[in-house]
Structure 1
Amino acid sequence: MEEKPHIPAAPRKRKLPGWAIGVLWMSGAIVLLSVTSYQTGFLQLTSSGTTQTAVRLALPILLAGLGGLWSERAGVVNIGLEGMMVMGTWGAAWAGYHWGPWAALVAAVVFGALGGLLHAIATVSFGVNHIVSGVAINLLGAGLTKYLSTLVFFPVSHNPRQSPPIQPFDTYSAAGFADWLGELEQGQRLIISDVAGILRGLVTGVSPLTMLTILLVPLSYYLLWRTRFGLRLRSVGENPHAADSLGVKVYFHKYVAVIVSGGLAGLGGAALVLNPGQLSYLEGQTGGRGFIGLAAMIFGNWRPGGLLGGAALFGYADGLQLRSGGETVLALVYGVVLLLGVIVVYQLIKRKWFSAAAAIVVAVLLYLLYISLDEIPGEFVSYAPHMVTLAVLAVASQRLRMPAADGLVYRRG
């Protein structure tokens, strides 16, 4: 019998590593902002001041998102991040007023972790619906901190809704490098000045909390994806019954994940209190950032790198509207029109006619909005981060893959 000739299999295309994809996305975003800034004349889009503000505002979102990542990778939905952040803000203000900023961080983690422990008891031990428990945590956090503020802060600050000011962290800057970047930024050269402005914002006025938060991103990746403990924790979020049959302590890993989630959310609350523009507890100061952190986690497809990009996006939108107002936010609409133009070309190359037509319609509507207004009304500007959240989730929802057992109540046996 004649043997058939062996035909080698076609070589598989090698995918780019995650970090390379992230660099490409970041480079594309910088080019887009640079062109938009050049075309509209609004240099604030890539200025060092805007970048500094964006970093500070992205920290609580990033920390809340990391908290959601830990919890949901173990199969527990945590919409109580907002309440845990609120508890963290109060704990940070109380300890920071008495013992300084480092004590504020410790207390914020402890208060947030207590909220996470309560959520774990309700969902893991008693099988309460995860959404119901999360809503209860949010209500409890708001009510408890309001009571504690009246009891503790009112005699000192004479305001039941605000704490006395606390001592800030010292900040650090790369002085010589920052000065050189400042000269490049002032040169107003396309892309070069924009990159210099962004880099200058990243190396100026950096606090220890910023360094710690950035460090937590690769640390979370390493613990969850490169250790035996992380493998077991993620297996609990994918198939807890199979994990249990292999000897994995399902309840233990769920408890650890949710408590760590609460601690990270509490640390996000401390980032709000220790913001140089605030430096005190203020009732309602979280402003829904716990939910935005959850949205950033979903945008990042339950991965630390994607979460970092989502937090940067939402922090940038928030910082831009706070620092520059409606005119610059309107310029950002022009940038979205340019982005949609790129999407249209891509969809046409892929021969996806319906998607290309939809992108064209949206681009035309946004361009008409851009040319018909002098600035975005202030009532809408303050909600820019929330609108960006909705838009991003609508676009990203087509490629998401959540943990298989996320939100399911687990009972052993």
Structure 2
Amino acid sequence: MTAPTTATDVNQPSLQPTAPAGRRMSLPVLMLVIAGALALTSIVRLITGANGITNVSQMSTALQLAVPIGLAGLGGLWAERAGVVNIGLEGMMILGTWFGAWAGFQWGPWTGVLVGIVGGCLGGLLHAIVTITFNVNHIVSGVAINILALGATRYLAPLAFEGHQGGSAKQSPPVDSLGHFSIPGLSDWLESLNNQHWFFVSDIAGLLGGLVTNVSWLTLLAVALIPATWWILWRTPFGLRLRSCGENPIAAESLGVNVYKYKYLAVIISGGLAGLGGVFLSIVANPFYLEGQTSGRGYIGLAAMIFGNWMPGGLAIGAGLFGYTDSLNLRGGSANVHALLLLGALLLLVGAIWLAVRKKYVKAAITFVVGALVFAWYAGTNEVPNQVVSATPYVVTLVVLALSAQRLRMPKADGMQYRKGQGK
């Protein structure tokens, strides 16, 4: 007797994910935390005079750098919610950069977007075949895809780009722009308000101004994919069945869910999103493909997904944080990073007080000592070496993951091998 497959039947207690350890932060509390962090940043700006840390240009650059990280993270979220670890995001982004630029310079940028997504989907399909059908270890498959994508694009680039104007063995000819837009009136008003350098108000104006000034249409699409992913995965029968495959595939199968189909769809969509992140790099961030231009963003996207606790909203915050630290390399990096040392010291002080209030005295003491060392570094220097500026995004990635690790809960069956009928 075949089990029914309606959303009502699938929504059984055995398929419900267990709650994460600890209490989930509510939206009002989260907004207060963000406002508090922005207020501390404003205090640091006033003390140090580093107005560049929250100006419109800095925030606009941060948004542009956050988009490919966020798209890669979304790709990882889709795959891992279905139970498939996708370390191959970097390789799928590489395929997206190459296929997007290759089609873009020949047939136009929007064709390049579509073909780049298809390129990422092909990487996702390969990962799905290897991990789902043949049950190869997910990490091994992902690493292999990263190596294969890099080798394939290195081989194909000379064949496709050499002989064309502006093309070479490592770079494609330029691709036409997708276009940018600013909201008339609002963007100018926010920039003017940001230039007043008032406490808190100017910092909010800089943050909002970066969201409405010189924005690519592809950025708008990428931002829209965040709530779209949340709605599909948490508010539709399709999303419920897909997530059940990442929590308890045996129980899902017993209720009539085609686990293989949902895993395949999730990993292919994952590859397409990573490919779209690659397209953004080769058409929007730079109007050409360049070998090595992903620069590990697929891995940082995976870190943003983990930081966000496998949730779209948390992922967006993580991508924004990593995009912001990455933007420090491009706009007054040394001065801004030096100012942020003071911000780091203040945040550590707040953390130490919070731990002390919760009677975790040892952790509070360690946090206070680290904060004191960071403050001593700030007070004893006028700038930081360029090597520190370049390493900032990766250091922040490690620190954030280390601090948030205790509150994380991955899908129960993430990375586990599954065979059809194994629960019988």
Q: Normalization by structure 1: what TM-score?
A: 0.94
**Per-residue Cα deviation, 1:267-287 (whole angstroms, up to 9, x for no partner):** 0001111234x2110000000
Mapped to 1, the partners of 2:291 and 2:228 lie a distance apart of 32
1:3 maps to what in 2? none
Distance 2:192 2:297 in 1: 35
Deviations 1:24-69 (A, max 9, x none): 2322222121111111110011000000100000000000000000
**2:126 alignment counterpart:** 118
> 2:94–2:278: 8 Å Cα contact kept in structure 1?
yes
- The equivalent position to 1:273 in structure 2, one of 268, 272, 282, is 282
Q: C-alpha displacement at 1:158, in angstroms?
A: 4.8
Extract unaligned runs of 5+ from structure 1.
1-14
The residue that corresponds to 1:109 in the other structure is: 117
Alignment of 1:3-402 (within 5 A): 18-156=26-164, 157-276=166-285, 278-402=286-410
Partners of 1:321 and 1:328 within 8 A in 2: no
| Letter aligned with residue 311 of structure 2 | R
Deviations 1:287-336 (A, max 9, x none): 00000000000000000000000000000000122211212111111101
User: Residues of 1 paired with 2:37 and 2:108: CA distance?
Assistant: 38
Label 1:392 to 1:16 Cα distance change in 2 as closer, same or farther (>3 A). closer
Instruction: Please point out which of 387, 396, 418 is paired with 1:410.
Output: 418
Cross-structure match for 1:7? none
Partner SS for 1:155: coil
Which stretch shifts more, 260-269 or 167-176? Answer: 167-176
Give per-residue Cα distances to partners, 1:156-214, cap 9 Å, x unaligned: 14520000111112111112112222221121111111111221111101111011001
Listed as ranges, the gaps of 5+ residues in structure 2 are 1-22
Any idea what SS the aligned residue of 1:201 has? helix
* Change in 2 beyond 3 A, CA 1:18/1:67: farther
Distance 2:133 2:350 in 1: 50
**In 1, Cα distance between the equivalents of 2:346 and 2:414?**
37
Contact 2:104 2:175 in 1 (8 A): yes
Q: How far apart in 1 are the matches of 2:374 and 2:142?
A: 37
CA distance, structure 2, for counterparts of residue 130 and residue 186 of structure 1: 49
Offset of residue 374 of structure 1? 2.0
* TM superposition shift of 1:344: 1.4
Deviates more, 1:68-77 or 1:383-392: 383-392
Q: Secondary structure at the match of 2:74?
A: helix
Q: CA deviation at 1:16?
A: 8.1
Measure the CA separation in 1 of the matches of 2:337 and 2:245.
43
Deviation at 1:232, TM superposition (A): 0.6
Match of 1:323, SS state, is coil
Residue type at the aligned position of 1:216: L
Indicate how the Cα distance of structure 1 residues 122 and 335 shifts in structure 2: closer, same or farther if over 3 A, else same: same
359-368 or 280-289: which moved more?
359-368
Counterpart CA distance in 1 for 2:183 and 2:278 is 27
Residue type of the alignment partner of 1:215: A
Alignment-derived partner of residue 15 in structure 2:
none
CA–CA separation in structure 2 for the residues paired with 1:34 and 1:69: 33
Aligned 8 A contact 2:71 2:276 in 1: yes
- Give distance in 2, aligned partners of 1:100 and 1:21: 45
> Equivalent residue of 1:402, what SS?
coil
> Which letter maps to 2:65?
L
Aligned residues: 398
Q: Distance in 1 between matches of 2:324 and 2:35?
A: 16
In 2, distance between residues paired with 1:56 and 1:224? 26
In structure 2, give the amino acid aligned to 1:405: A
Alpha-carbon distance in structure 1 between the residues aligned to 2:259 and 2:239:
12
Q: CA deviation at 1:155?
A: 1.9
- Relative distance call for 1:133 and 1:333 in structure 2 (3 A) is same
Structure 1 CA distance for aligned equivalents of residues 301 and 215 of structure 2: 22
Task: Tell me by how many angstroms 1:106 deviates.
Answer: 0.4
RMSD of aligned alpha carbons: 1.3
Once the two structures are TM-superposed, the CA of residue 103 in structure 1 deviates from its matched residue by 1.1
- Paired AA for residue 417 in structure 2: V
- Classify the secondary structure of the residue corresponding to 2:185: helix
Question: Segments of 4+ in structure 1 off by > 6 A?
Answer: none
In structure 1, distance between residues paired with 2:362 and 2:313: 31
With 374-383 and 44-53 compared, the bigger mean Cα shift is at 374-383
- Structure 1 residues 224, 371: CA separation in 2 closer, same or farther (over 3 Å shift)? same
State whether residues 94 and 149 of structure 2, in contact with CA within 8 Å, keep that contact through their aligned partners in structure 1. Answer: yes
CA distance in structure 2 between the aligned counterparts of 1:207 and 1:23, rounded to whole angstroms: 26
CA contact (8 A) 1:224 1:233 kept: yes
Contact 2:178/2:284 (CA < 8 Å) preserved in 1?
no
